[in-house]
Structure 1
Amino acid sequence: MHRSDQDLLKAIYDNKDENAFKVFYNRYAKLLLNWATKRTGNRDLAEDIVQNFWVIFWSKSHTIKTDEFGVARTYLIHYFTYRMLDYLRTSASKFSGHEFALDTVENEESYLHIIEDIQVKDMLDMIDRVLINFPILTQDIFRNIWEHNCSVKETSIAYGVSEKVVRTHYKKVLSLVQVQTKAFIGISSKSFKIFLEILILVGLIK
């Protein structure tokens, strides 16, 4: 019988149900590993981050919320990414020789409270409004990379087009999304690039 994320999370937190944990882990482990790998560019580092996250998750599963359908995916990624940021700021990860692509985030703490105020649904609705103006192929390519974390190569194979075509379609949408995000957030152009990177990292723009 399929158990909802909501049921699994409750069982893990209330009863320390190891079977429920295994089901939840198997459901999302690959997604989180791919998410961390793509955002750090380092598979070994990503594995360390994910392993550390699941240890935290076991004792704090109640912090993961679910949507109206009992699905935890969006909130799980959001929470996971904040934990990833915490991990990357530690001396342990830096001592290991890992360089984090968004080191500047440490100097942009003032923006984090803005992120917390942004509703995920509002951001996704904005992206949907941007996408609807593009051809179906462009929409599909963007969603395949952004939502499903597929690589350019995987997307190229899936849609039978060259990798150059995939990059071109993806960049067209991303450029407009950046413009709309800037207007949506209402921040200065000087800080926009860093802020957009933070938005991408925390998964508020899917």
Structure 2
Amino acid sequence: MTDKQLLERISQKDEEAFRMLYDRYRRLFFGWVLSRLNDEDASCDLTQEFWISVWTAPEKIQCDDTGSAKNWLLRHISFGIMDYIRIQCKRLEITDEMLIEQKIRVMAYTHVQEDINFLELQQLIDDILRNLPPLIRKVYELRCVRNFSAKETAKVLGIAESTVYNNLSSALICLRNELTLQYTTNDSGKLKILLPILLLLLN
């Protein structure tokens, strides 16, 4: 059953359909949030609010030509991440709040929401990671893609937890540097929108 069909049933308050959609994406969406916030409690709260919004307003969710809502849902939950970052910056009085506000406003335009495809975001990251040393790449995969804890990652790879943290830091620094370079040199309008979002989420 496609996402579109499930959403139609959810609009009629079909709990089974909601459970099916939830089971389809819960790991992906929670992992997406957790890998960007690095805060399990905040990630749980944000994803819970996200799923409540799916239940209460399924008619707002847009599907692609194949009936999939994944990209729209990823955009929606990413906007929630942006809101969380903005609130945290205000609470902590972060000095670069103006920059973050600028990124949030960029994401707010409807035509941008329609254009962004998060498969492109992942492709950008994959291209960069492909050129990194194997250990750094594996640590990033386990921590940020498969959502392993630092302890689990260390056990799987047979390395110290401190090595996990160091390699993950190296991966994120490399990603930020490469994405910054692409942002300053690429003429694609779509990438000019995508790259600042990636850079913010990798901070």
Match of 1:22 in 2: 19
Contact 1:12 1:18 in 2 (8 A): yes
Structure 2 vs 1, CA of residues 129 and 53 (structure 1 numbering), >3 Å: closer, same or farther? closer
Q: 2:78 aligns with which of 77, 81, 84?
A: 81
SS at match of 1:186: helix
Task: Report % sequence identity.
Answer: 27
Mapped to 2, the partners of 1:67 and 1:38 lie a distance apart of 26
Cα-Cα RMSD:
4.1
Q: What is the aligned length? A: 189
The aligned amino acid for 1:176 is C
Structure 2 counterparts to residues 40-51 of structure 1, below 5 A: 43-51=40-48
Measured against aligned partners, the alpha-carbon deviations of 1:74-112 in whole angstroms (never above 9, x if no partner) come to 54233113135446767xx99xxx769898234654543
Contact 1:33 1:50 in 2 (8 A): yes
1:172 aligns with 2:170: yes
- TM-score (structure 2 length as normaliser): 0.65
The aligned amino acid for 1:199 is L
Which consecutive residues of structure 2, in runs of 5 or more, have no partner in the other structure?
A: 186-195
Which consecutive residues of structure 1, in runs of 5 or more, have no partner in the other structure?
A: 188-193, 202-206
Structure 2 counterparts to residues 1-206 of structure 1, below 5 A: 3-13=1-11, 15-29=12-26, 32-33=29-30, 35-36=32-33, 39=36, 43-65=40-62, 72-86=69-83, 104=97, 105-106=100-101, 108-112=103-107, 116=113, 119-186=117-184, 198-200=200-202
Measured against aligned partners, the alpha-carbon deviations of 1:98-132 in whole angstroms (never above 9, x if no partner) come to 76989823465454369756543333222222222
- TM-score (structure 1 length as normaliser): 0.64
Structure 2 vs 1, CA of residues 80 and 109 (structure 1 numbering), >3 Å: closer, same or farther? closer
The aligned amino acid for 1:155 is T
Mapped to 2, the partners of 1:173 and 1:154 lie a distance apart of 18
